[in-house]
Amino acid sequence: MLATLRSAAVFGVEAYAVHVEVDVSLGFPSFTMVGLPDTTVRESRDRVRAAIRNSGLEFPPHRITVNLAPADVRKAGSSFDLPIALGLLAGSGRVLRRTVDDTAILGELSLDGGINAIRGVLPIAVATRQAGVRRLLLPPQNALEASIVEGLEVCPARSLGEAIDALNAPDAAPLFVRPVGVETSEPAAGDGDLADVRGQLLPRRALEIAAAGGHNLLLVGPPGGGKTMMARRLPGILPPLSFEEALECTAIHSVAGTLTNGSGLLTTRPFRAPHHTISNVALVGGGPIPRPGEISLAHNGVLFLDEMPEFHRRVLEVLRQPLEDGRVTIARAARSAIFPARFVLVAAMNPCPCGYDGDERRACHCTPGQIERYRGRLSGPLRDRIDLVAEVPAVPVTVLADAPPGESSASVRGRVLDARARQRCRYRDLDVRTNAGLRGSATGRLCRPTLEGRRLLHVAADRMKLTARGYDRVLKVARTVADLGASENIEVDHVAEALQFRLLE
């Protein structure tokens, strides 16, 4: 008796169809799995056996062979439990259909026959719809996520028993109805409002420019200056996620298993702040079956590296390629996975190891050698990828107490939205979303300052010894400053403001 059921798995953020073939034949009782299952898949034998028995059904005392096709791709995870169990029960006649091709089946079984949530449902739902399959049978916790995809019947099953019924009587199976109004496109509340930050006009402006043009930002200052505080308020001034961006983010978080149970579409921009002890793989992604790292989880959002020089140098260097390409490719012998990773990088650091270099409140005791070594932990190429460097001086407590509250996030966000609208209009025919995303010759073509602006830029480039990349970065930042000022021309003032964010070099 042979049963063939349809399931799916993800590689990177792409899903592919997997056919689960279960053969139950007479012979010495055994349970074999073929088709490159890894250990997590092979463990499913024990779960399936217990789940079937504990659901009050008979586990067929025969020779069982399970094949997961295509056989040349390594399979991982527990989502094949349910199709394997149903295939077995089709072999013994409890499930009435032996070939199920109109329904893709996913789910992890628990020993009592219940069905647990799995990862990567959104990309699977998208691929299932594209393959022309009508229905998805899955754990109820994943139903909301799958229902984002239109034109797909989502059939949740809480237990093995319910899944059997759904296959035996497909027309009577209850379908999931997406509740209206689950999408809200409100901005991330973030941590607090920019109004809490008193003074600090220059770094506040840097934050606004970073949000408007998608520029990477480095905040440098003594302890307690408010660097961490300001960086955490960046998501609050970013524009809301578009539907397309939300889909991209949700797919990544779905594969990583970081979608909170049952949540559907991700509606707030991600803000990721990994600790400085993070490993290479955790930051950029990897593993035998590639999983997204922090930079991909921050896709379309913010990656915040607090105390940047404390990160291992090798960890920082792996950021270089993704920062340039907006994605990361993880090569494996059989095939490579590509994870999107377009994010705004915000980094914070002290000016020296003790932290008080240039601070009026306290003397710095670091030697020039120590300072140089400390700053050298950020390599030139990495620094070159940061558009804005802003100094965050310490504000004396007495001044802090008397200063009026700063401008609110909502008001800053208004200007950011206008600037983004101008960019969308300018780049409508290009695969570019923000000024920071401009590459190669497009930068020179689309960011051309006025004659006076160009003159200033040339003088400054000479004095500051800007690299070619650094020069382009000033152009892009000047473009954003002009967009914030609702100006189509890049005037000399805009260039001057852009230049002051490279002064610390």
Ligand X SMILES: Nc1ncnc2c1ncn2[C@@H]1O[C@H](COP(=O)(O)OP(=O)(O)OP(=O)(O)O)[C@@H](O)[C@H]1O
Is 253 an interacting residue with respect to ligand X (CB under 6 A)?
no
CB-based contacts of 331, cutoff 8 Å, min separation 6: none
By a kind-dependent CB cut-off of 5 to 8 A, residue 247 interacts, out of Mg ion, ligand X, none, with none
Q: Is 394 helix (H, G, I), strand (E, B) or coil?
A: coil
Is 199 an interacting residue with respect to ligand X (CB under 6 A)?
yes
Is 350 an interacting residue with respect to ligand X (CB under 6 A)?
yes
Q: Which string of x and - marks every residue 370-399 that binds ligand X (by CB under 6 A)?
A: -------------------------x----
The minimum distance between CB 416 and ligand X, in angstroms, equals: 20
Return the residue matching tokens 């798995």.
Answer: 9
Q: Residue from 170, 224, 393, 485 that binds ligand X (CB under 6 A)?
A: 224
Q: Residue from 65, 67, 110, 228 that binds ligand X (CB under 6 A)?
A: 228
Q: Residue from 226, 292, 301, 322 that binds ligand X (CB under 6 A)?
A: 226
* Helix axes 44-54 and 81-91, enclosed angle (nearest 10): 60
The minimum distance between CB 309 and Mg ion, in angstroms, equals: 12
By a kind-dependent CB cut-off of 5 to 8 A, residue 448 interacts, out of Mg ion, ligand X, none, with none
Structure tokens given for 499: 């230049």
Is 400 an interacting residue with respect to ligand X (CB under 6 A)?
yes
Q: Which string of x and - marks every residue 8-47 that binds ligand X (by CB under 6 A)?
A: ----------------------------------------
Which residue lies nearest Mg ion, judged by its C-beta?
Answer: 228
**DSSP code of residue 417:** H
Q: How many whole angstroms separate alpha carbon 147 and alpha carbon 367?
A: 60
Please state the φ and ψ torsions of residue 116, each to the nearest 5 degrees: -100, 160
Give the closest residue to 161 by CA, choosing from 224, 216, 86: 86
Nearer to Mg ion, 346 or 436 (CB): 346
By a kind-dependent CB cut-off of 5 to 8 A, residue 45 interacts, out of ligand X, Mg ion, none, with none
Return the residue matching tokens 């809480």.
Answer: 158
Q: How many whole angstroms separate alpha carbon 249 and alpha carbon 363?
A: 46
Is 228 an interacting residue with respect to Mg ion (CB under 5 A)?
yes
Q: How many whole angstroms separate alpha carbon 344 and alpha carbon 234?
A: 10
Is 223 an interacting residue with respect to ligand X (CB under 6 A)?
yes
Determine the size of the site formed for ligand X (CB under 6 A).
17
Find residue 22's DSSP bridge partners. Answer: 3, 66
The minimum distance between CB 226 and Mg ion, in angstroms, equals: 8
Q: Are 345 and 305 in contact (CB under 8 A)?
A: yes
* Residues between 96 and 115 with contacts to ligand X, criterion CB under 6 A: none
By a kind-dependent CB cut-off of 5 to 8 A, residue 198 interacts, out of Mg ion, ligand X, none, with ligand X
Return the residue matching tokens 């056996």.
Answer: 49
Q: Residue from 227, 233, 479, 494 that binds ligand X (CB under 6 A)?
A: 227
Structure tokens given for 326: 């907006």
Q: How many whole angstroms separate alpha carbon 287 and alpha carbon 293?
A: 10
- Output the CA–CA distances (angstroms, integers) from residue 360 to 222, 307, 355, 464, in the order listed: 10, 21, 12, 26
Q: Residue from 146, 188, 197, 234 that binds ligand X (CB under 6 A)?
A: 197
Structure tokens given for 473: 């970065």
By a kind-dependent CB cut-off of 5 to 8 A, residue 182 interacts, out of ligand X, Mg ion, none, with none
Is 229 an interacting residue with respect to ligand X (CB under 6 A)?
yes
Is 221 an interacting residue with respect to ligand X (CB under 6 A)?
yes
Number of residues that make up the chain: 505
Which residue lies nearest ligand X, judged by its C-beta?
Answer: 226
Q: Which of these ranges, 8-16, 110-118, 227-235, 257-265, lies near Mg ion under the rule CB under 5 A?
A: 227-235
Q: Which of these ranges, 36-44, 227-235, 294-302, 425-433, lies near ligand X under the rule CB under 6 A?
A: 227-235
Is 198 an interacting residue with respect to ligand X (CB under 6 A)?
yes
Nearer to Mg ion, 228 or 370 (CB): 228
Q: Which of these ranges, 192-200, 242-250, 317-325, 454-462, lies near ligand X under the rule CB under 6 A?
A: 192-200
Give DSSP secondary structure letters for 329-356.
EEE-SS-EEEEE---EEEEEE-SSSSS-
Q: Which of these ranges, 19-27, 54-62, 156-164, 218-226, lies near ligand X under the rule CB under 6 A?
A: 218-226
Q: Which of these ranges, 220-228, 235-243, 283-291, 423-431, lies near Mg ion under the rule CB under 5 A?
A: 220-228
Strand-strand pairing, 271-272 and 302-305: parallel
The minimum distance between CB 305 and ligand X, in angstroms, equals: 12
By a kind-dependent CB cut-off of 5 to 8 A, residue 47 interacts, out of Mg ion, ligand X, none, with none
Map 199-267 to HEC letters. CCHHHHHHHHHHHHHCCCEEEECCCCCCHHHHHCCCHHHCCCCCHHHHHHHHHHHHHHCCCCCCCCCCC
Q: How many whole angstroms separate alpha carbon 471 and alpha carbon 461?
A: 7
Give burial (CB, 10 Å; 0-12/13-18/19+) of 501.
buried
By a kind-dependent CB cut-off of 5 to 8 A, residue 263 interacts, out of Mg ion, ligand X, none, with none
| CA atoms within a 13 Å half-sphere pointing along the CA-CB vector of 478 | 28
- List residues near ligand X by CB under 6 A: 196-200, 221, 223-229, 348, 350, 395, 400
- List residues near Mg ion by CB under 5 A: 228
